[in-house]
Amino acid sequence: MAKPDVTIDHTKKLSNLEKEQRVIDKAPFRHLKITDAQVLNTIEGREICNRCYKSRKFFCYSCCLPVIAEKYFPRVKLPIKIDIIKHAREIDGKSTAIHAAVLAPDDVRIYTYPDFPEILDKEKTVLIFPSQTGISIESLFENKFKQGNNRIINRTKNTFPIKRAIFIDSTWHQTKTIYKDQRLRDLQCVILKSRISQFWRHQKKSPRWYLATIEAIHQFLVELHTCAFGTIEGYTDIEDIPETDQRYKGQYDNLLYFFKYMYEKIHTIYDHDRLWAYKRPLI
């Protein structure tokens, strides 16, 4: 019996994936509940940051502070705390981590390595990193124990099993330096579901499923919330949803407020298919 041609199957799978992605790329944010950012176009010139006194547009990427009035952007409340450890060589102005700190200031903190967050409860803290020992977000909700010769798995529902998540903000090559830090070694690593990035900045030798930091934070929170409470399908088209309904209905989509705005600005200048960032392999 002839062996199946794995190469043909892989090529067909990739071709189908590319077709699906081209459709998504035409309107990548259409299924998300993101506040219209056109008001940002009415802001002329730049403002001075109250902390470092440098001239900035919208927010200060050095101090993680807005330089415009709060009426110009949404505020997002997160269900857990987020710590972001930024590599010292990561350029502030190119990092999307700042978006999270500006939009969710009560729940997000950024540290420049070797500065580090104080981790008091390691059992309730996870590191978002594609480690070989990493687990899925769904696994965080599973309580495993033995009962006689049987292995029992109970699933936690309607609550969050963790209180804090740590992200590393750097290029892939810089990430390893921070990941190997002893202060992170005891934390459970969590792996996100695969998602294609819409980030316009190109990183050499990286596939499109390498997410920008703000994309990864959004992906993590959506997965976490959905595992706890479920989701409302097509929530962007549903009105009058009761506040008591805890299913996911776009609560964290506004974390992509600045990201979506900048994406659209970039795409008014450059053709999507000509940008190197979108020519990276999908798998």
Regarding beta strands 188-191 and 135-136, do their DSSP bridges make them parallel or antiparallel, or are they unpaired? parallel
Tell me whether residue 205 is in a domain: yes
pLDDT of residue 138: 96
Q: Which domain holds residue 175?
A: 82-89+113-277
How many domains would you assign to the chain? 1
User: Range with the lowest mean pLDDT among 18-22, 102-106, 173-177, 198-202?
Assistant: 173-177
Q: What is the mean pLDDT of residues 88-96?
A: 86
220 has a pLDDT exceeding 60: yes
Tell me whether residue 269 is in a domain: yes
pLDDT of residue 145: 74
Tell me whether residue 143 is in a domain: yes
Q: What is the pTM of this model?
A: 0.91
Confidence band (pLDDT; 50, 70, 90) for 21?
A: confident
Tell me whether residue 283 is in a domain: no
Percent of the chain with pLDDT over 70: 95
User: Range with the lowest mean pLDDT among 67-71, 77-81, 173-177, 247-251?
Assistant: 173-177
In contact, 170 and 86? CB cutoff 8 Å: yes
For residues 105, 223, 143, 156, the Cα torsion angle rounded to the nearest 10 degrees is: 80
**225 or 19, greater pLDDT:** 225
4 has a pLDDT exceeding 60: no
What are the backbone dihedrals phi and psi of residue 259, each rounded to the nearest 5 degrees, phi first? -60, -45
Tell me whether residue 94 is in a domain: no
pLDDT of residue 173: 73
Tell me whether residue 58 is in a domain: no
Tell me whether residue 257 is in a domain: yes
User: Which residues fall within 8 angstroms of residue 203, CB to CB, at 6 or more apart?
Assistant: 171, 172, 210, 277, 280
Tell me whether residue 217 is in a domain: yes
3 has a pLDDT exceeding 60: no
Q: What is the mean pLDDT of residues 243-272?
A: 95
10 has a pLDDT exceeding 80: no
Confidence band (pLDDT; 50, 70, 90) for 22?
A: confident
- Compute the mean pLDDT over every residue in the chain, rounded to the nearest whole number: 90
